[in-house]
Amino acid sequence: MKLKPTVISLGILATTLSIATTALALDAAAVEKARSDYFHSLGKASKGLRDELSKGSPDAAALKAYAANIAQIAPNLPAQFPAGSGPESGVKTEAQPNIWTDGAGFKKDADGLASAATALNAAAQGGNIDAIKAAAGNLGQACKTCHTTYRKEDH
């Protein structure tokens, strides 16, 4: 029975070491760069869609292309957040630690984005401008919901 604390300590040590090794194996700076590029492409496509929608007579083909692009990009969001790529890695990131401590909540928001993007794409292929505008609004809401909880705002 006297050995037990030692066994536990060893267990904790082993876990810590394995986490540390994983963190070392992960190039957090490269992940952050790829993540930043990822959101850049998503933001760019969203802005393109929004600008097209704000025109007097939006071009249906352009809307379809933007929406398809967004629907393609959106599901890849969770892959941008491998464990160990948070602020604890020392890399300057807007990602908040609760992305990993509250994985279920984060996944729910990420799924919300993916389904909003799918719905937007369906609306765009349908061609009804009002439906596309409503779907774009829902997409913006999905972005905002997640950013409020999991992104550290820097202007």
Partner 1 sequence: MAGAAQTTRIAIWDLPTRLFHWLLAGLIVFAWWSAETDHLAWHKMAGSCVAGLLVFRLWWGFFGGSTARFACFLRGPKTVLAYLSGKTDKTGIGHNPIGALSVVALLLTTLVIVVAGLFAVDTDGLESGPLSAWVDYDGGRLASKIHGYAFEALEILIGLHILAILFYTVIKRRPLVPAMIHGKALGAGDDTPLKPGGLLALLIGLVLGGATAAGLIWLSGKS
List residues near partner 1 by CB under 8 A.
39-40, 42-51, 54, 136, 139-140, 143-144, 147-148, 151, 155
Place of tokens 């705002």: 153
Q: At what angle do helices 129-150 and 103-126 cross, to 10 degrees?
A: 170
Q: Classify burial at 82, counting beta carbons within 10 Å of its beta carbon; exposed 0-12, middle 13-18, buried 19 or more.
A: middle
Helix, strand, or coil here: 52?
Answer: helix
User: Smallest distance, Å, CB 148 to partner 1?
Assistant: 8
Which of 28/139 has CB closer to partner 1? 139
Q: What is the smallest separation between the CB atom of 59 and partner 1, expressed in angstroms?
A: 14
Minimum CB distance to partner 1 smaller for 64 or for 133: 133
Smallest gap from residue 1 Cβ to partner 1 (A) = 56
CA distance 62 to 52: 8
Specify the residue, 26 or 53, whose C-beta has the smaller distance to partner 1: 53
